[in-house]
Amino acid sequence: MALRLTSALFLTLLCAIPRAEAGWIHEVRTASDTLPAVHVLRYEASADVGFTNFADALDAIADARTTTRLDLAVLHERMLEADFQEELLALLRTSAPQAFEDAQRPSGNHDDPALLALRRPFLQAVSDSQMVTGYRAALAKHRLRVADVQLEKLTLDAFEGTPRLRCFLWLTISPV
């Protein structure tokens, strides 16, 4: 009887809780003695969290406050999605074909000189991507801009014979 009641209560709670869409999550990392508070939009690939698109997430931040404050847009998980991978690989093959080819030979260690040489073209490819161009348009509506594209630990490996880029990736956001 108790198990049946617990199960019924659990199912009722599941049905009563509204489900959010996958995508962007707003976080505020509180200030410490040495660092100021940081407002972050983080892309989460898991289902049922955040806002579906970047512009909606920005609008939600703006609706909750009189001004939109955003310091970082974290794209680590967005990096792994096939459409973004394909676009970045195509941009690198066009803009830095030799650096891209050289970077495919090493072991994939992020400190390999060939991968270090690919860093600057990679950052430019991210900046030139359709995704970041769309983010710029959404940010401009809130008097914000992409100040910088930053990464840590860029690697390039092959997944089922296809090159795959991986890194920690984020955009630094600032007021216009």
Hey, where are the domains in the chain?
Answer: 20-175
Find out whether 25 and 70 touch, Cβ atoms under 8 Å.
Answer: no
pLDDT of 94 reads: 97
pLDDT of 109 reads: 77
pLDDT of 136 reads: 98
Find out whether 172 and 146 touch, Cβ atoms under 8 Å.
Answer: yes
Residues of the chain with pLDDT below 70 are: 1-22, 47, 65-67, 106-108
pLDDT of 66 reads: 55
pLDDT of 16 reads: 34
- Cα–Cα distances (Å) from 72 to 27, 103, 124, 163, in that order, read 10, 28, 18, 27
The dihedral through the CA atoms of 117, 118, 122, 125 has a sign that is positive
Side-chain half-sphere exposure of 32, counting CA atoms within 13 A: 3
pLDDT of 107 reads: 67
pLDDT of 22 reads: 63
pLDDT of 14 reads: 35
Find out whether 167 and 153 touch, Cβ atoms under 8 Å.
Answer: yes
